[in-house]
């Protein structure tokens, strides 16, 4: 079956069965095209909470994102196309590691990036995203009256936050990194720039220090998208230092601009495990009211963990509102 026909049958089944599909910017473009909402991880979970009125939500991303959606939407069924689509960065930080660091530094607050499992969030004082991390760390420093915090799991984001907040950071676990962003080198960027000297360089804070310091703009996936949206009439070309899926989105939404990927390694193989066929399989089970088969796709965070994990997420949202 062609991609177009497959997309059409997914849309028909989705509408017939009243399902919302959420897709992360790093999904393949054919999945982005059939989604009701596109966004980054936290943005999508909030959409699931505030805008998606359907009982069933398909979350095309990685498992920790679906967990966050489940924490925020305990009354809804969050389904993932592929349970093996995990985030290796999130897997660096287990609840056991957090407890060990808390014992070592009992007075320091724990700030975790949203790219963590629900069980790790449950051990945290506050969560943060790549876009609000600096602000959140400054706020938690004031509230806890400390000069140092525990932060994990991404080492590069931790360094970026420490540099820009003036708060000392103890990295937990100390070796956490995203295999996609951390592989981007300064040579990759300079190589791309040699071919496209007018292009603005946009990179994600999960990139290494040399890359971040060289870039014209450092920001989250949504932040990079908005940078292009706001500057598209001023700058024509952009080097995009994040996962390839964002470049696909930008190329569709801003056809008069040009976008370049500085390295072919900017592909998250975990995000790409989701396929249209799996989304169709979920919808067919729903259509046949085969709820037993549907269970294999459902991500449900147990109520006790969800309750504890909700606190640091809510605190982050409250801090963000006040700023
Ligand atoms: S791009 Fe990196 S942080 Fe994002 S899901 Fe993939 S491995 Fe995790």
Share of residues in the chain with pLDDT > 90 (%): 93
Which residue shows structure tokens 């991303």? 61
306: in domain: no
Reply yes or no on whether the pLDDT at 323 is more than 70: no
* Range(s) of the domain holding residue 279: 3-85+271-301
Question: Among 41, 59, 115, which residue has the most ligand 1 atoms within 8 Å of its CB, making it the best to mutate?
Answer: 115
Is 207's C-beta closer than 6 angstroms to any atom of ligand 1? no
266: in domain: no
Q: Across residues 15-40, what is the average pLDDT?
A: 95
Q: Check: CB of residue 159 under 8 Å from CB of residue 113.
A: no
Q: How high is the pLDDT of residue 42? A: 78
Task: Kindly give the number of the ligand 1 atom that is closest to the alpha carbon of 154.
Answer: 3
278 shares its domain with 256: no
Q: Which candidate, 217, 206, 283, places its Cα nearest to that of 26? A: 206
Where a domain ends, among 140, 161, 177? Answer: 177
Question: Among 23, 60, 62, which residue has the most ligand 1 atoms within 8 Å of its CB, making it the best to mutate?
Answer: 62
Reply yes or no on whether the pLDDT at 48 is more than 70: yes
By DSSP bridging, strand 110-113 and strand 126-128 are parallel
94 shares its domain with 172: yes
- Distance between Cα 61 and ligand 1 center (Å): 10
293 shares its domain with 249: no
Ligand 1, atom 3, lies closest to the CA of 178
Is 220's C-beta closer than 6 angstroms to any atom of ligand 1? no
Where a domain ends, among 152, 177, 202? Answer: 177
253 shares its domain with 231: yes
108 shares its domain with 138: yes
139 shares its domain with 165: yes
Would you place residue 322 in the very low, low, confident or very high pLDDT band (cuts 50, 70, 90)? low
95 shares its domain with 171: yes
Q: What is the pLDDT of residues 109-161, one digit of tens each?
A: 999 999 999 999 999 999 999 999 999 999 999 999 999 999 999 999 999 99
Q: Which tokens go with 161?
A: 């936050």
321: in domain: no
Distance between CA atoms of 280 and 284, rounded to whole angstroms?
Answer: 6
Q: What is the pLDDT of residues 63-87, one digit of tens each?
A: 999 999 999 999 999 999 999 999 9
150 shares its domain with 188: no
Q: What is the pLDDT of residues 165-201, one digit of tens each?
A: 999 999 999 999 999 999 999 999 999 999 999 999 9
Q: Check: CB of residue 204 under 8 Å from CB of residue 130.
A: yes
Which residue shows structure tokens 């703009």? 217
Would you place residue 49 in the very low, low, confident or very high pLDDT band (cuts 50, 70, 90)? confident
Q: How high is the pLDDT of residue 320? A: 81
194 shares its domain with 242: yes
Q: What is the pLDDT of residues 200-213, one digit of tens each?
A: 999 999 999 999 99
Reply yes or no on whether the pLDDT at 45 is more than 90: no
52: in domain: yes
118: in domain: yes
Sheet of strand 200-203, all strands in order from the earlier edge strand to the far edge = 217-218, 200-203, 237-241, 258-260
Where a domain ends, among 136, 153, 177? Answer: 177
- Distance between Cα 268 and ligand 1 center (Å): 6
The CA dihedral of 7, 10, 12, 17, to the nearest 10 degrees, is -160
99: in domain: yes
Q: How high is the pLDDT of residue 50? A: 85
185 shares its domain with 173: no
Tallying the residues shown for the chain, one arrives at 323
Is 268's C-beta closer than 6 angstroms to any atom of ligand 1? yes
194: in domain: yes
Q: Which tokens go with 291?
A: 């709820």
> How many domains is the chain partitioned into structurally?
3
Q: Across residues 304-320, what is the average pLDDT?
A: 94
Task: Output the average pLDDT for the chain.
Answer: 96
Q: How high is the pLDDT of residue 274? A: 97
Q: What is the pLDDT of residues 227-258, one digit of tens each?
A: 999 999 999 999 999 999 999 999 999 999 99
52 shares its domain with 93: no
Ligand 1, atom 1, lies closest to the CA of 268
186 shares its domain with 224: yes
Q: How high is the pLDDT of residue 218? A: 98
Ligand 1, atom 8, lies closest to the CA of 87
- Distance between Cα 273 and ligand 1 center (Å): 12
DSSP annotation of 36 reads: S
Would you place residue 321 in the very low, low, confident or very high pLDDT band (cuts 50, 70, 90)? confident
Is 271's C-beta closer than 6 angstroms to any atom of ligand 1? yes
CATH code of residue 240: 3.40.50.10800
pTM score over 0.85: yes
Reply yes or no on whether the pLDDT at 57 is more than 80: yes
228: in domain: yes
Q: What is the pLDDT of residues 257-296, one digit of tens each?
A: 999 999 999 999 999 999 999 999 999 999 999 999 999 9
């Amino acid at each position: 079956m062609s991609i177009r026909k497959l997309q059409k049958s997914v849309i028909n089944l989705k509408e017939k069965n009243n399902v919302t599909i959420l897709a992360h910017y790093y999904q393949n473009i054919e999945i982005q095209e059939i989604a009701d909402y596109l966004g980054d991880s936290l943005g999508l979970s909030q959409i699931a909470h505030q805008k998606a009125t359907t009982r069933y939500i398909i979350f095309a991303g990685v498992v920790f994102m679906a967990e966050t959606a489940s924490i925020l939407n305990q009354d809804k069924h969050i389904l993932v196309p592929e349970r093996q689509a995990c985030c290796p960065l999130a897997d660096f930080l287990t609840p056991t590691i957090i407890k060990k660091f808390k014992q070592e530094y009992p007075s320091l607050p724990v700030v975790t990036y949203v790219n963590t499992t629900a069980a790790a969030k449950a051990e945290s004082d506050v969560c943060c995203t790549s876009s609000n991390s600096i602000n959140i760390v400054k706020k938690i420093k004031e509230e806890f009256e400390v000069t140092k915090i525990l932060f994990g799991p991404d080492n590069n984001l931790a360094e970026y936050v420490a540099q820009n907040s003036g708060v000392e950071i103890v990295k937990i676990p100390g070796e956490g990194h995203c295999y996609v962003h951390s592989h981007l080198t300064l040579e990759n960027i300079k190589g791309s720039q040699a071919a496209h000297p007018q292009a603005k360089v946009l990179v994600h804070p999960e990139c290494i220090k040399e890359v971040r310091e060289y870039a014209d703009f450092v920001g989250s996936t949504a932040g990079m998208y908005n940078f292009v949206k706001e500057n598209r009439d001023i700058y024509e070309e952009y080097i995009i230092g994040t996962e390839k899926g964002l470049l696909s989105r930008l190329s569709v939404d801003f056809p008069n601009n040009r976008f370049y990927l500085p390295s072919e390694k900017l592909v998250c193989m975990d995000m790409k495990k989701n396929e249209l066929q799996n989304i169709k399989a979920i919808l067919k089970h729903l259509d046949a009211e085969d709820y037993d088969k549907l269970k294999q796709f459902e991500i449900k965070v147990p109520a006790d963990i969800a309750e504890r994990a909700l606190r640091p997420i809510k605190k982050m949202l409250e801090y963000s509102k006040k700023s």
